[in-house]
Amino acid sequence: MTTFIPEWGAGSGRALQLRRVLQDLGDGAAVRKPLLEVADSADFFLEHDEHGWLALAICPARYADIGGGQLFAPDGRDAFLRYLGALGDVLAGALPTLVVMSACSESDTALLAQDAAAGGQMTLCSGERFAQGGADALRVLMRKLSARQATVLRRRYFPESEIAGLRVGRRTFHRDNSAALTGVFLDREQEWASKLDLALPDEQAALARDFSVRLLNGVAGCGKTLIALQRAILLAQSRPDQQVLLLIHNTHVVADLMERMHRGHLPIPANMQMFTFAKWAIRQWKAVFGRYPQMPKGHELLGMVRALQPRPPSLGLDDEQLLEEMNFLNEALISGEAGYLAADRAGRGFALREIERSQVWALFQQLNAQLRARGWRLWSAIAGEICDAAQQRRDTRAFATFATFDHILVDEAQFMAPASLQLIKLALRPGGSMFLCADPRQGFLKNRLSWKRVGLAVAGRTKKLRRSYRTTKALLQAATRMLARQVEEDPEDYLAPDFAGMDEGVPPMLVTVDTPQDAVDRVANEIAGLARQSNFPLSSILVMYGGRVSKDLLYASLCQRIGAAKVWWLNKDRAAPPGGYGAEHIRMASIDTATGLEGTFVFLLGVEELLSLGGHDRGTEVRARKLYMAMTRSCYRLSVVTAQALPDEALGDIFERRA
């Protein structure tokens, strides 16, 4: 089936006839419509995997308007000839162009073609002949373009689809010094997803309701973050009078994207902002309340919770579980004890009877009172407090500096709690759009929540991406098998990957050493070896570490082997790499903050706890999902180094073992 980029809505008359012809181009064909204004552009650019490219222009001018057959009506004729000349100049005439004279008869079109001396790569036909010839006639006119010609064409008419500063291979790694000449672009499916609903402004206005929401569900590695970024930039460029916000879940991903955009010389448009949700929410809180929120440190908060625990213990919850339940009360926007008693806690991992919920609610009130006395609040309360303030005093000056946007895009939306999504909706202007990217195998969806239950009606507004462009078949299959054994997926949210056409690759490697120190040495030596090979850029290497290894020792060892300026510890240098943007460096990050990162060569160490899978309790499910996330960061090769010997039957068909 032909892919339309962007998708076409319902049409009638000539538009419907045009769509029917183009639809018959079939599988392997794409019809692109430029969304940014480009002088003298054709209306559509057709690409077919087997037959090549064709520019298609629809000219509605009548024969009489052009001055056909009239000796003293040169203006219309001259304008028409300039129009044809501009179309023919694309790629110095190498791109075939079909001009459909939709309001002219066959005989009049023939006269115009003769008068304009059309020929070579330029063809004129009437609307009637276009409909009769159908897709077969289009295939005959198509011509193959070289990689360089295709890059020139896409950079001129679809610059928003080029990936800035690509640091890793998309399935395999290729070092290409001519990358500036050939370019790297979004895959066809990714480009289609990035332009969903991006019709012309008047068409969009006709479809706008209170707000328009679109959900993009995708498997790991399908390019959700790239799609969100490219779409945000396109929205900002094509609608300079509107404000665009891109929210990213992970601080490290924001820094990584900024470094990537610097490499690609791609500035952020003036009307676009990109933040982590946490940073944006705190800015919005300050805009409403006039100061920054103060929150206790982790150990201080756990100490307060521990002091509240009943003596003797009667709840059966440890300190972290109790705090987690209190955060749930904030995140679910539960405002009273009655609401808590009636709330659906499906997927919370532990049951609470009514009397226990009443106890938790009382402790929650006590904790909030103690926090308020110190001028503190829970982080989980930030979004809800803003929403409450909006209901009470939205029309007052308190909201004068509250930032609102015409378009809000959310990456890793599955991590957003109901309160967070409510805050995002609050910042959306009337008639605005919300674009959500999510992975059903992570985040709140794993807790049996649904989009409907968090206040978003996405039925009929969801698109699914099942193809992974990041990793290999062997790596994705291994991660999928591991997760399937430990997690019972919800059939409604399950998204099965499409493995067809993926590079085979090699299974992930499990390296067993004697001690955590040996694990650090092994990883540092492997990376030093890669660094000595000039065909592997350091920026293609990602190191993730868990709690069973010394992060400071790992960092010191890597700095000693390859130089401190070449190691970007994302948890330490959050804003930018130590050597500045553009310099070559490996990336190092905690596994707890690695969501959204990727690397051609990925090393994972200090995660023995994640490898000790067994049973089907909540803790095992959480560990399995985290391991799945880590395994799917790799584009080409994954090496897991462990200081704990695993039984032969444990993950035996998941990893290739090596001593």
User: 218 a known binding residue?
Assistant: yes
In angstroms, the CA 107 to CA 118 distance is: 15
In angstroms, the CA 251 to CA 258 distance is: 11
What radius of gyration do the chain's Cα atoms show? Answer: 29
CB 176: neighbour CB atoms within 10 A? 9
Is residue 76 exposed (0-12), middle (13-18) or buried (19+ Cβ within 10 Å)? middle
Q: Are 601 and 544 in contact (CB under 8 A)?
A: no
What are the residues facing 604 on neighbouring strands? 544, 640
User: 225 a known binding residue?
Assistant: yes
User: 76 a known binding residue?
Assistant: no
DSSP string covering 55-92? EEEEE---HHHHTTT-TT-HHHHHHHHHHHHHHHTGGG
In angstroms, the CA 592 to CA 604 distance is: 12
Phi-psi region at 609: left, alpha or beta (left = phi > 0; alpha = psi -120 to 50): alpha
User: 223 a known binding residue?
Assistant: yes
Q: Are 380 and 419 in contact (CB under 8 A)?
A: yes
DSSP string covering 197-219? T---HHHHHHH--S-EEEEEEE-
SS3 content of the chain, % helix, strand, coil (to 5): 45, 15, 40
Question: By C-alpha distance, which of 213, 177, 189 is closest to 456?
Answer: 213
Placement of tokens 């890597």 in the chain: 558
Which residues does the annotation place in the binding site?
A: 218-225
Which residues does the annotation place in the binding site for ATP?
A: 218-225
